Chains A and B, each alone.
Chain A
């Protein structure tokens, strides 16, 4: 078992790294060619400050999405709610088809401008992935596990905590990972309603036709997304019990 999984994983990991190195090298060459390092260094203070703001938006809206999305997914998967849960999922699906920009605009109309409507819109954008994966992870726990758990006298709460959630954890994690990565990439839009973040450099750069400024926003955003993704995959590797973790 292990001998078939490990090479596969290391192959994937190494090809990923290879790609990253190539991209970085290419970028490096281009940056050097365009003599952008100096320009970027000029924005250093703004980059640090706005990256902080960016991370803050991701952390707040992401945490909110996790603490609301997972319970909502659990709720939808409970037997007493199964009859309606598919319709609810459809409703959420429709919710995500609304472009984030539209959600931002809409939330601005009743929350004003600033951080609050930005966090709300980002929360909406992240929620579905977490709810959907929590729900489908829980309903796909094999029914014989539930039968065994019920048969040996576990209470519904014990079944949820000790059987259902641990066995759905990998799928739930995947949902959180997708949600956060998308969240990082969506935050720049928050600048449009005064929410701050690296979008400020990107959009201002575009408006002023200053490629350097735009890249000073875009590159950290891209790196942030990669870092968040890597962190989440590391967390999944470490936090999911070995028995139900396909990674190890």
Chain B
């Protein structure tokens, strides 16, 4: 659990005071991924770096698992918090194994425990220990380097992970792959993660929560679906875009909107199908491609489970707006 309390950073510059983070308060529950999102200069990175005191806060507090982090000295705090940066920052003079073992070595683990841990972590980030342990960073691809970067951050099993645009420098195909792997890993690890991004799609994909920043202020802190469905203000609405309802499609899987009572469409006319774990974006894309307004859903053995319909999807997406009638009105409407 990470709690930020009125966290503020004011930089004294030659042109006067610059408020980089303005009384930021939020709470990320244990095991959740929170994406700090926003345009450059919005204060998201400053907020992240105040948590491990790479940037000392001007005022405000950070609590990790209920413990005020000012109780720890800076070095102890940082060794207990995993940190991944966009430039990866693997030490070129050390092998992959040595890079991963840096923090455990500093913490005084014995050698056999460190070696076991290194092998375990490399397996976890899908790199064969026998192949990669002795390699140097320059002998790895960008994606492999960042996998090692993540492994290094996880080495001492910290409860909290801070990630500063970790996959920003990786090509789109590998980025998607490494994001999927990371999510799978997180399901097992259940770390509390703060993750800086400027990419709304990445935020929707990776985040349990999104914290949207602008001009040093936290504009909205909510689940991805709520940020997309109910932007708190014009800035958020603008940032998530006019097509924001489409961005909600990947957040729901077919099984959640399945209409089981429908008869199976004629297999002669409908040649495509989805599975229960496909997301709605995939389903809608198939419907558009084949001029259909409903698709059969099959299980792994090819048994028919029910249908997903365009009307059903519309109903599902619209539900949140109907429920919010007592709010200021449907935010997915015509403005923006």
Contacts and interface: CB of A to CB of B under 8 A. Distances in A.
A142 B86 CA distance: 13
A61 B89 CA distance: 38
Given A163-B91, A244-B92, A151 B136 contact: no
A244 B93 contact: yes
A152 B83 contact: yes
A153 B54 contact: no
Measured as residues with beta carbon below 8 angstroms from the partner, the interface class of chain A is 20 to 34
A151 B54 contact: yes
A241 interface: yes
A6 interface: no
A148 B163 CA distance: 11
Nearest to B73: A153
Interface string A154-169: 1100100011001101
A149 B54 contact: no
Nearest to B162: A151
A158 B80 CA distance: 17
A25 interface: no
A167 B87 CA distance: 16
A6 to B, nearest CB: 15
Interface residues of B, number: 29
B153 interface: yes
Nearest to B74: A153
A153 B78 contact: yes
A160 to B, nearest CB: 13
A17 to B, nearest CB: 29
Secondary structure class of chain A's binding surface, majority of residues: helix
B130 interface: no
Contacts of A158: 106
Contacts of A153: 75-80, 103, 106
Interface in B148-165: 152-153, 162
B52 interface: yes
B93 A150 contact: no
Given A152-B79, A152-B153, A243 B103 contact: no
Contacts of B153: 152
Contacts of A166: 91, 93-94
Contacts of A152: 78-79, 83, 102-103, 152-153
A152 B52 CA distance: 9
Contacts of A33: none
A147 interface: yes
B78 A151 contact: yes
A242 B98 CA distance: 13
Given A152-B78, A152-B152, A144 B87 contact: yes
Contact of B138 (A147, A150, A155, A243): A243
Most B-side CB within 10 Å, residue of A162, A167, A169: A162
B299 to A, nearest CB: 45
A145 interface: yes
Interface string B52-64: 1010000000000
A155 B106 CA distance: 10
A163 B90 CA distance: 10
B95 interface: yes
Given A147-B54, A244-B92, A154 B106 contact: yes
A144 B75 contact: no
Interface of B: 52, 54, 75-80, 83, 85, 87-95, 102-103, 106, 136-139, 152-153, 162
Interface of A: 1, 142, 144-145, 147-155, 158, 162-163, 166-167, 169, 241-244
7 contacts: A145-B91, A148-B87, A148-B90, A149-B89, A153-B78, A166-B94, A244-B93
Given A148-B90, A167-B92, A243-B136, 5 more contacts: A144-B87, A145-B92, A147-B89, A241-B93, A243-B137
